[in-house]
């Protein structure tokens, strides 16, 4: 019965998300572009190169210096980010890795062992992530939060790790892009856990199990942010312009291309 309910629930999440997108997308440059308004260009002294983006001097605050402007991402950029974290390499690699751990622990023993059971566990984790990312995307639209991941402009492993972990439950808001607590980022992992427990897990699982799965899912989302910080940041233009997506960047992020 739960397996038959899984597909309609996932489709409902996707439909709700699409309906939450404003009809008129935000114009102008997206997050991480170097475009500025004509008024700003007129006030820039000749020969002075204007910095393209604000530097994230702290995990919590976008420290905008003179001449540095935060640009909210366009609807297209937000949709690309959602597609990357939902269907990109991290989604598949993470689902496969988590399924391997669950297989070893025989989590949900009703699913059994063997390659067929492993496939079920991979699909389970992929579905949890899909619901999680779709919920975050939809709620961010409703609450006007910018939940895209921004790599830290700080130096040092510890500061970058702190930034990645805190970004799990924070987002940018307002025209200045200040950091604040994110309702969408906190709720999304638990939505993924609850939908899984009530839709396609064996019948003995309930909402308490969904909350427990949500706790694990929150930790997984933190791990995803760490991967976005140190390995590859995805298709975001800000990340692509200011960071080399290779492991050798793991101890510093101030390199400019």
The pLDDT tens digits for 122-148 are 999 999 999 999 999 999 999 999 999
Residue-wise pLDDT for 85-129, tens only, equals 899 888 999 999 999 999 999 999 999 999 999 999 999 999 999
Which of 101, 125, 104 lies closest to 113 in space, CA to CA?
A: 104
Structure-derived torsion over alpha carbons of residues 75, 37, 180, 62, reported in degrees to the nearest 10: 130
Q: What angle do CA 198, 219, 57 make, to 5 degrees?
A: 135
What pLDDT is stored for residue 233 in this prediction? 62
What pLDDT is stored for residue 175 in this prediction? 84
Q: What is the pTM of this model?
A: 0.66
Residue corresponding to tokens 């975050």: 136
Residue-wise pLDDT for 51-64, tens only, equals 334 343 333 233 33
Q: How confident is the model at residue 149 (pLDDT cuts 50, 70, 90)?
A: confident
What pLDDT is stored for residue 95 in this prediction? 95
The CA distance from 15 to 216, in Å, is 26
Q: Work out whether strand 170-173 and strand 178-181 pair parallel, antiparallel, or are unpaired.
A: antiparallel
The DSSP result for 176-213, as a single string, is: TTEEEE-HHHHHHHHHHHHHHHHHTS-TT--HHHHHHH
């Amino acid at each position: 019965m739960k397996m038959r309910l899984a597909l309609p629930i996932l489709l409902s999440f996707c439909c709700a998300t699409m309906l939450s997108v404003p009809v008129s997308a935000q114009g102008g440059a997206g997050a991480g572009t170097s475009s500025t308004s004509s008024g700003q260009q007129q006030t820039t002294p000749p020969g002075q190169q204007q910095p393209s983006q604000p530097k994230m001097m702290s995990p919590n605050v976008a420290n905008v210096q003179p001449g540095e402007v935060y640009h909210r991402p366009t609807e297209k950029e937000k949709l690309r980010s959602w597609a990357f974290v939902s269907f990109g390499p991290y989604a598949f690699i993470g689902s496969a890795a988590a399924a391997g751990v669950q297989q070893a622990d025989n989590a949900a023993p009703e699913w059994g062992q063997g390659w067929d059971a492993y496939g079920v566990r991979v699909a389970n984790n992929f579905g949890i992530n899909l619901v999680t990312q779709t919920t975050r995307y939809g709620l961010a639209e409703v609450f006007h939060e910018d939940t895209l991941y921004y790599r830290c402009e700080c130096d040092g492993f510890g500061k970058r790790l702190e930034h990645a972990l805190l970004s799990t439950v924070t987002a940018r808001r307002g025209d200045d892009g200040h950091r604040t607590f994110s309702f969408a980022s906190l709720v999304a992992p638990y939505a993924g856990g609850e939908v899984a427990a009530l839709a396609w897990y064996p019948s003995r699982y309930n909402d308490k199990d969904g909350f427990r799965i949500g706790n694990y899912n929150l930790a997984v989302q933190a791990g995803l942010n760490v991967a976005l910080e140190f390995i590859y940041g995805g298709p975001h233009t800000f990340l692509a312009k200011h960071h080399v997506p290779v492991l050798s960047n793991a101890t510093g992020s101030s390199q400019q291309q």
